[in-house]
Amino acid sequence: MNTQVEASASVFDVVKQVISVVIVVAGVAAFYYFSEVPLLYRVIGLVVVALIVAGTMLTTGVGRSVWGFVLESKQEVRKVVWPTREETFRTTLLVFGMVFLVGLILWLLDMFLFWGVRLLTGQGG
């Protein structure tokens, strides 16, 4: 019996998801259809449509799992040990220095290869 209840709930979830997509498409179409209405009101309408769709999607199984993932991600971000300002500055300088060094090496390699190709093809003096 639980299998039948879960199956009907998932069908209901799919119906809600399809309705949400239809509402989003209708909201975007209305945004462009009512182009003579001031932009502020059209944007407010889109925000209202987005909030309605978000609320509808949060009632589905997928929406609840996405919301749980967001909450868990928030907790994990709090656990991260962020670098200090000085560490970030030093790392950035190191990256800039390495990019400059690699660019210089590649430029020299290109210059010598170009010189060698010109010498081999007889185009250089």
| pLDDT tens track for 13-47 | 889 989 999 999 999 999 999 999 999 999 999 99
d(CA 15, CA 11): 6
Cβ neighbours of residue 57 under 8 Å, at least 6 residues apart? Answer: 16, 17, 20, 63, 66
Its pTM surpasses 0.85: no
Name the pLDDT band for 125 (thresholds 50, 70, 90): low
Q: How far apart are CA 55 and CA 24, in angstroms?
A: 13
CA distance 98 to 20: 49
pLDDT digits (tens, 9 = 90+) for 69-119: 999 999 999 999 999 999 999 999 999 999 999 999 999 999 999 999 999
C-alpha dihedral over 108, 112, 114, 116, to 10 degrees?
A: -170
How far is it, in rounded angstroms, from Cα 13 to Cα 16? 5
Give the pLDDT of residue 31.
93
Structure tokens at 93: 């300088």
| Best CA proximity match to 21, nearest among 64, 57, 70 | 57
pLDDT band of residue 122 (cuts 50, 70, 90) is confident
> Quick check: 1 pLDDT over 70?
no
Owner of token pair 């009101």 = 41
